[in-house]
């Protein structure tokens, strides 16, 4: 069985599916049309970027630089 993703799937969901099924790539489909291919490297990079942004906001908040 081919494991596929959609454009609506979250990075966390794709990571879980890839880990659970021990696969490195997931085709992303819209209906029956191939829209792209997501690799485990893409997932890791996206999650790292997300964590970096979160860390920056937290550091700014702690240093009292947070807007508002």
Q: Residue 47's domain spans which residues?
A: 11-62
Q: How far is CA 33 from the centre of its chain?
A: 21
Tens of pLDDT, residue by residue over 14-51, are 999 999 999 999 999 999 999 999 999 999 999 999 89
- Residue 35 placed within a domain: yes
Secondary structure of residue 47 in the 3-state scheme? helix
> Strand (E) positions, 1-68?
25-30, 33-39
What is the total count of domains within the chain?
A: 1
Residue 31 lies in a domain: yes
Q: Please count the residues of the chain.
A: 68
Asked if residues 35 and 44 have their Cβ atoms less than 8 Å apart, the reply is no
| pLDDT value of position 60 | 83
CATH number at residue 49: 3.10.580.10
- Would the pTM count as exceeding 0.75? no
Does 6 fall in a domain? no
Q: Identify the CA nearest to 38 among candidates 55, 17, 59, 58.
A: 17
Would residue 3 count as lying in a domain? no
Q: Is residue 57 part of a domain?
A: yes
């Amino acid at each position: 069985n081919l494991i596929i993703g959609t454009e609506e799937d979250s990075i966390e969901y794709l990571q879980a599916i890839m880990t659970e099924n021990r696969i490195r790539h997931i085709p992303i489909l819209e209906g029956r049309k191939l829209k792209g291919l997501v690799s485990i490297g893409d997932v890791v990079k996206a999650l790292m970027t997300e964590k970096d942004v979160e860390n920056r906001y937290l550091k700014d908040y702690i240093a009292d630089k947070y807007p508002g």
